[in-house]
Amino acid sequence: MSADQKIATPSQNLLNDKWDVVLSNALIKTGLGFGGGVLASILFFKRRTFPVWLGIGFGLGRGYSEGDAIFRSAHGLRNVKV
């Protein structure tokens, strides 16, 4: 095995999987917030921009809070009782 090849440890795989879930979740929530803001802007607020920014903010906030919960969870970690 050459020095260029690295073997990923299980903890690295777990962290990479969590980052994949968090980033995709934040992207989806932000996109839904953007879409909801555009729809609200067109239908209710005479095409003003504040509903769009508000929707993006809610989407980013929800993505951040769910990502924080994912990283704080002990799912996938081994528990050792002493």
What is the rounded distance in angstroms from the CA atom of residue 54 to the CA atom of residue 38?
10
6 inside domain:
no
Residue 61 lies in a domain: yes
Q: How many CA atoms lie within 13 A of 42 on its CB side?
A: 5
Tally Cβ neighbours within 10 Å of residue 14.
Answer: 14
The structural domain count of the chain equals: 1
Q: pTM here?
A: 0.73
- The answer to whether residue 59 is domain-embedded is yes
pLDDT score recorded for residue 14: 72
Provide block-wise average pLDDT over 10 residues at a time, the chain (82 residues).
63 79 92 95 92 95 91 69 68
What is the domain range of residue 30?
A: 13-72
Flag whether 45 is in a domain.
yes
| Pair 26, 34: CB distance under 8 Å | no
pLDDT given at position 72: 86
- State residue 59's pLDDT score: 95
pLDDT value for 43: 94
Whether residue 34 lies inside any domain: the answer is: yes
